[in-house]
Amino acid sequence: MKRLIAILMPMLMIFILGQLHILVVTSQHRIYAQNSTMYSVVPSVPHKFEMLGQEQRQRLFSPSFQDIKHINIAFVLPIFTNAAYHNSFYTFYKIYQQSIKSGVNITHNLNLLSSNVILTKSDPETRYLTKHLALRFPSFHVDILTDADVDGGSVFFTNGTNKYDTLVLRHQEYVTQQEYDNLKKFVANGGTMILLDSNPFYALVGYDRIMQTITLIKGHFFAFNGRTAWKSVNETLANDTSQWTGSNFLCFLTPCRITFADNPFGYNQREEQYLTNSNDTILLNYNASILSPYPILAKNATLDHERVIAAYQLDYKKGRVIGLGIYSDDIYFKHNFVMFFDDLLMETRKINS
């Protein structure tokens, strides 16, 4: 009997694991089939924001994959932001963020406000998504660019027209003024720009193409003129960014505790954008609640919908910006997110075709 049990137990375990696998896969497909539930717009969204109509939502989240046409896409790697995080800018911030008052010039440790740029055309997130697109949409042409390429105008032909239909940005927290202007021109020309991550265009840097270095100019609460640094604004181009990209960074320094009632991607709070343009069209409202950091409010007071965190679209001149509102680097590999990303690309294909 013991021998029989010893033989049957492994077989039973294999059977149970197989059934669990089937259950998980079936659940994922069921979720995809019930998109109207999965991607629900919460009715309590402020009236100042337009909600995508039911017919549009059905088209966006239940795309037809027939007659797939060619589309040119470029992912933009955030090499300037990577450089800023490499034992330089943030070491400076840590030293002076709390110790220096406004109006005081800083003349020490200024070397920390410059950093070497590593020119690369690869990272795990972009590799994963581009390989996925190559398998699912073989007719799409996908390039990988960097901040330096955009700064140099590589998104345009020599006549100034767009070279790509869609640009997919990553965590472009630090950009040059020229890169920022080129991205804005790309959208104005009729291109689609997808912001995968929150906190774009937070600070301006200078880029030395010969020395391959970046240097802080302004943002992240400091400004630097090459000789001295001082306390300054947090989001350098906040007003202009709101006008053409539709959102701004939500949490900085002050701790925020955010929960998401509508969370199909299994996303955990990290860095988020909130909608700041009344022309934004909500694609997916995460129905966020924010635990207030202000002591004058009740201990457990929430700012429901006071700061709307959502995936959205904003039309700007001839083009459009689609923002995910969250830090998608943390969920790029998740099945539901990849499906949502595919749907967005399908929609931009229909718009651009």
pLDDT at 229 over 90: yes
- Between 26-40, 66-80, 297-311, the lowest mean confidence (pLDDT) is in 26-40
Q: What is the mean pLDDT of the chain?
A: 82
What residue type is 60 in one-letter code? L
Instruction: Give the mean model confidence (pLDDT) for residues 24-28.
Output: 33
How many other C-beta atoms are found inside a 10 Å radius of the C-beta of residue 336?
18
Strand intervals (E) in 243-324: 247-249, 257-260, 273-275, 281-285, 288-291, 310-316, 319-323
Burial 42-53 (b: 16+ CB within 10 A, else e): beebeeebebbe
Q: At what angle do helices 335-352 and 54-61 cross, to 10 degrees?
A: 110
Instruction: Give the mean model confidence (pLDDT) for residues 323-327.
Output: 96
Whole-angstrom distance, CA of residue 79 vs CA of residue 60: 32
pLDDT number for residue 304: 56
Percentage, residues of the chain above pLDDT 90: 64
Instruction: Give the mean model confidence (pLDDT) for residues 207-212.
Output: 97
Backbone angles phi, psi at 118, to 5 degrees: -100, 115
- Between 19-23, 24-28, 74-78, 280-284, the lowest mean confidence (pLDDT) is in 24-28
pTM summary value: 0.80
In which band, very low, low, confident or very high, does the pLDDT at 30 lie, cut at 50, 70 and 90?
very low
pLDDT at 315 over 90: yes
